[in-house]
Chain A
Amino acid sequence: MAISVKIDFENLYEIEHISEDLRISTFKTELEDGTYLPLKVEISNECHTLLPNVYNLAFGPLDKKGEINDKAQLSHKDYSRVFSTILFDGLNFLNNNKGHYLGIDGSDNARAYMYYMFLQRNYDYLSKYFNIYGLKYYVRITRFGKNQYDNPFDFTDIQPVPDRILKGSRLPPPVMYNYFIFNSKIAE
């Protein structure tokens, strides 16, 4: 099912709780069945092991251990509002932390492609606030290989240097970026 997301920082859920360092916040999303579910947004307090000044942004409902389940599949009533709230939270963090970048991991091919399409469809709006980059810093095991035991690893597809994402740039799903990073244009 295709999900259409329109990012609009005028259409947000209320961020109910936020930590003093702006790294952790929670808000409630309304699901299609009318119930509300808390979502947590967490920005890591250590930069990425491979990318200096890049801090991972994770989001999702909480699992039984109280940690973010970033692979949960939810049916939100308003996807636009959910993602607008998450990005707004990220923007606020970046504006208060000059020189920092936030990174979002496409935990699988489908999610990575979904995020890329969100970025492209909202490029004009998002580019007012963010510089957006993509990179491929690890190889997906199922990326290539017609037969079960063919080597599926394509190390030539690695792109460890952030690539500025431009409006309209097309990238087929099999070679999609697997990590997206962005910084605030205001805090540059």
Chain B
Amino acid sequence: MKESIEAKLLALTKKAKENGANLKGSGAIRNGSSLHKIIKTKEQAATFMKLLQSL
């Protein structure tokens, strides 16, 4: 690795350790759209398709 890049990485780590900002995370784990969280199995997909066709 280039020395300059290594130095930058070390500097960033040092900045975090010495002046680590009190930054808040959302806590949310992002896994794509909300639909993908619902449909994970073939059975769920079939149910969803029936629902679409009934509209």
A residues bordering B, Cβ < 8 Å?
9-10, 12, 15, 17-26, 42, 44-46, 48-49, 56, 58, 66-68, 70, 88-89, 91-92, 95-96, 105, 107-108, 128-129, 138-141, 149, 151, 153, 155, 178, 186
A48, B29: Cβ atoms closer than 8 Å:
yes
The listed residue with most A CB atoms (<10 A of its CB), out of B24, B25, B39, B49, is B25
Out of A12, A24, A25, A128, name the residue touching B8 (CB < 8 Å): A12
A45, B17: Cβ atoms closer than 8 Å:
no
Chain B nearest CB from A55 CB (Å) reads 9
A151, B26: Cβ atoms closer than 8 Å:
no
Chain A nearest CB from B55 CB (Å) reads 9
Please list the 6 inter-chain residue pairs (A to B) with the smallest Cβ-Cβ separation, ordered nearest first: A20-B20, A24-B23, A17-B21, A153-B45, A18-B16, A138-B36
Q: A21-B20, A24-B24, A149-B53 are in contact. Are A141 and B12 (CB under 8 A)?
A: no
Out of B17, B29, B31, B49, name the residue touching A20 (CB < 8 Å): B17
A58 surroundings in chain B (CB, below 8 A): 30
A22 surroundings in chain B (CB, below 8 A): 13, 16
B residues bordering A, Cβ < 8 Å?
1-2, 4-5, 8-9, 12-13, 15-17, 20-33, 35-36, 39-40, 42, 45-46, 49, 52-53
B15, A107: Cβ atoms closer than 8 Å:
no
B24, A92: Cβ atoms closer than 8 Å:
no
A92, B1: Cβ atoms closer than 8 Å:
no
A139 surroundings in chain B (CB, below 8 A): 36, 39, 45
Q: A19-B20, A56-B30 are in contact. Are A153 and B9 (CB under 8 A)?
A: no
B12, A49: Cβ atoms closer than 8 Å:
no
B21 surroundings in chain A (CB, below 8 A): 17-19, 24
